[in-house]
Amino acid sequence: MRPKPHTPNNGPCSPVFPPRDRRAAEKGASSIIDPRTLAPVSSGAAHMAVRNHHPDPSSPHFQTKGWKAAVKEASIPTTRHDAEVKRNLEIGLHGASSLEDKTIPTFSRGELPHFAGINTFLKAPFAENVHDVGHYDVTCLGVPFDGGTTYRSGTRFGPQGVRKISALYTPYHYEMGIDLREQMTLCDAGDVFTIPANIEKSFDQISNAVGHVFASGSFPLIIGGDHSIGFPTVRGIAACTTKKIGIIHVDRHADIQEKDLDERMHTTPYFHATNIPNVPATNLVQIGIGGWQVPRPAVEHMVSRRTNIFTMEDIEDLGIPKVAEMALERAWDGADAVYMSYDIDSLEAAFVPGTGWPEPGGLLPREALKLVGLVAAEGLCGMEVVEVSPPYDVSDITSLMALRICVDALGSMVANGKMGAHKHIIDKEFVPF
């Protein structure tokens, strides 16, 4: 449909010229007719009118989100950045006298350069002594385990892959207007010592690691690992509290059958997690489920336990904001905290080739990030990202997506004042498994 010219009733914008007149104005025609007044307008004025018929993005009366984010940056402190630069010079030696930038040390320390240094998560401090994790808001821990895979393995290298690509990122997010370095504290506790030949012993190791971090008050950020770890991670948190925990599980697969290949594999975590007394199945929300890889033995448990299920078609029909709203309502119904488990194969397979069970038709990256941000904005008691398998990845794009999900969740909690909100549910001593 041909656009209608603006009239005084359309608002205070300058006139919009019909396409033919616009082209003439751009070519420098000597006289153009203003469709509102029918009076001639000079080519210069016409050109300016064409350019300025939209509001100024930096105007106080109309600012784009991009402009608002640019203005907000100046309000974010640089205190910790400045302290880090000073420390790096002390422990890494001052740079050569030929360098103009006097903040560069001789030995690479801290964030820069992105291609150098030792890759902890976001180059956070390494908490070699795990008794120190309670001094940090967030503790990253890797779970290099793929003994629960039923097809393609390789997720034992997931923590390495995500840490490696995390060197690419800065702690500042432009649109959110937050800086993780300045507004929270983060450490990397390294990896859980899993037992490759024994699923149950590995589960005990994982529950003990997660329980230790959670009991300290630090937020556990867990990088898997296959999805079988979804049971022992939740078990570790649930063992620290008498309060009720809901779960938001984003995946293409149901992962709720009792056993697979006679063991508790990566297709089974939510059957066993929802057997924990304070983790009821009615507070389990499963988003993205569908396709040709949902085993029928899982479906009967989805029905009998009355889990909350959203397929990709539900997401298309309702939209991400509505699905997030409904998911939060069900996960938080009578619960005191919510845990998020994000399976990377919930995304469209073209974007995440590095996973064990790719399934076409999943979420687009922007949809996934929107969903994660909305869920995390209400606060989480922990989260995991699972099923990243670097041996199948291309140019680290799957690891990068997993990283982005992690930092977007942290950023959303910081931006909405929810970092540390989980601490109130810690009301019992953690007893190791």
**Digit-coded pLDDT (tens) for 176-205:** 999 999 999 999 999 999 999 999 999 999
Please give the Cα distance from 180 to 109 (Å, whole number). Answer: 18
203 lies in a domain? yes
Average per-residue pLDDT in the chain?
A: 90
Going by pLDDT thresholds of 50, 70 and 90, the confidence category of residue 42 is low
275 lies in a domain? yes
Q: Per-residue pLDDT for 86 more than 50?
A: yes
Q: 166 with 24, same domain?
A: no
72 lies in a domain? no
259 lies in a domain? yes
Structural domain for 33, as ranges: 8-54
22 lies in a domain? yes
20 lies in a domain? yes
pLDDT tens-place string over residues 282-319: 999 999 999 998 989 989 999 999 999 999 999 999 99
* pLDDT, average across residues 317-334: 98
Q: 46 with 133, same domain?
A: no
Q: 250 with 329, same domain?
A: yes
Biggest CA–CA distance in the chain, Å, is 85
Q: 153 with 275, same domain?
A: yes
* pLDDT, average across residues 131-152: 96
The per-residue pLDDT for 1 is 43
Q: Which two tokens stand for residue 321?
A: 């904001």
289 lies in a domain? yes
Q: What is the total count of domains within the chain?
A: 2
* pLDDT, average across residues 372-388: 98
341 lies in a domain? yes
* pLDDT, average across residues 147-157: 93
Going by pLDDT thresholds of 50, 70 and 90, the confidence category of residue 2 is very low
